[in-house]
Amino acid sequence: MNTPYKRPESVLVVIHTPAFEILLLERVTPAGFWQSVTGSLEDDETPLDTALREVAEEIGFVAHPDDLEDWHQSHVFEINPLWRHRYAPGVTHNTEHVFSLCLPEKRPARLAQDEHAEYLWLPQTAAAEKVFSWTNRDAILKLRSDRNPLHFPS
């Protein structure tokens, strides 16, 4: 059942290589806002379902459930006033679930042109400095080698 409002629950998927090169996406609006893959849960989706869907929609990578590392971590943050109109009246905060996806090497992303203008791969520290969200920054900085999954998407 679709509602006219976004569900105030989302995912953050930090995509990286074993060398901790991080894939970042620049939002179309506002220009200059860089981020990892993100997206809101729809209808009865689980966070894992949403993470898989968003990776496919935003960058064209087909991942399988075993490819994603669920950090079993979430953050509550205030919704940016720029996007608050997408939520029901009075909704001011969002819960974000954190995932990561390790690819064996950097690869081109097929962007969702209505959402993202550019992509780039950056070293971990540079990526953390470039993103606009504190939750995204913290997740990038917390990446550890033991979070690397055993399988990689095609």
pLDDT at 22: 98
Taken in order of first residue, the domains within the chain and their CATH numbers are: 9-147 (3.90.79.10)
- Per run of 10 residues, the mean pLDDT along the chain (length 154 residues) is 84 97 95 95 96 97 96 94 93 97 96 95 97 95 62 41
Beta carbons of 33 and 133 less than 8 angstroms apart? no
Beta carbons of 40 and 7 less than 8 angstroms apart? yes
The structure tokens 């009246």 sit at 89
pLDDT at 82: 86
Identify which of 13, 21, 15 has the alpha carbon closest to the alpha carbon of residue 124: 21
Q: What is the dihedral of CA 75, 54, 147, 139, to 10 degrees?
A: -40
pLDDT at 2: 60
